[in-house]
Amino acid sequence: MRVLVTGGAGFLGSHITEAYLRDGHEVVVVDSLFRGREEYVPKGVFFYNVDLAREPAAVEKIFERHQPHLVFHYAAINGTKYFYDIPHKVFQDNMEMTINVVNAAARFPPRLFVYASSSEVYGEPLKIPTPEDHPIILEFYAERDSYAASKAFGEFYTRYVAGRRSNYLILRIFNTYGPRMDTSEYGQVIPEFIRKVLREEEFTIIGDGTQTRAFMHVDDHVKIVKKLVETGPYNDVYNVGSNQEVAILELARIIHEIVGRPFKPVFLPPRPYDRRRRCPDITKIIKATGLTPQIDLYTGLRQTIKWYMENRFSQ
């Protein structure tokens, strides 16, 4: 089987790439390296350094050349600080990427098109745990929702355009963590906390730490998504995440405990429109795949911290 992964040099995409390559499939990776690293692309794949938002002809040529059976569209500008600092670029580039990838897939249709959406489309949820039939909520004046709006657009474009020629899956991905995440201020909370606890004198938390999230290890993400791709049902939306909700303050405390550093957080002002709670209802994907997340947060964090200590912060 030929598998194409956009964003395959990034965090989630590189793990998806590895899994299908390991199973003996032909894998094509397309990534601009805006956030990804070429070193994360394993040997044995076809790699194209292409700006998906600005090179539609190149994207179409890749589809024409390889005619993939399975497409994972995981490429996007992610990272919460980007949503606030460059909302126009987040919104426009993410939409343009999806338009160009979906249009190419419509011309050379795969058997299945998988679109990586986000839990951000739920806004401040009206219901916790949040099911897939929850409304999409976007705040017009929230810079943060530059990302959520681009992801919501992508869901509709996938359904209306890719869905005319191929089966599709829309994955509303909740917080996922593991090796290869960006540890800068433009990354997600877990790698940023790991960097701070290992390298910085002052450990800061944005907000009061009572906001909650539910964290899934990347190995569980890959296993469950691969099973969903095999089984379906297709042409539907699925939450992908852990249903174990934890406060950000408790997450920080656990990371300190694993590293063996005294926990003395300094609290910074909250970001505007930061969501107070986020936790998925995963009933639907459990029913489809028969799988649940298996890696508990403490075990996953311990493994992840070990990777960063050996690969990023070894000096």
Annotated catalytic residues are: 147
* DSSP 8-state secondary structure symbol assigned to residue 213: E
Q: Are strands 112-118 and 70-73 parallel, antiparallel or unpaired?
A: parallel
Verify cis geometry, omega within 30 degrees of 0, for the bond prior to 280.
no
CB 162 within 8 A of CB 106: yes
Rounded distance between C-alpha atoms, residue 171 and residue 184, angstroms: 26
Neighbours of 181 (CB within 10 A): 25
Evaluated on CA atoms 95, 127, 143, 276, the torsion sign reads negative
Rounded distance between C-alpha atoms, residue 29 and residue 8, angstroms: 5
Neighbours of 57 (CB within 10 A): 10
CB 10 within 8 A of CB 35: yes
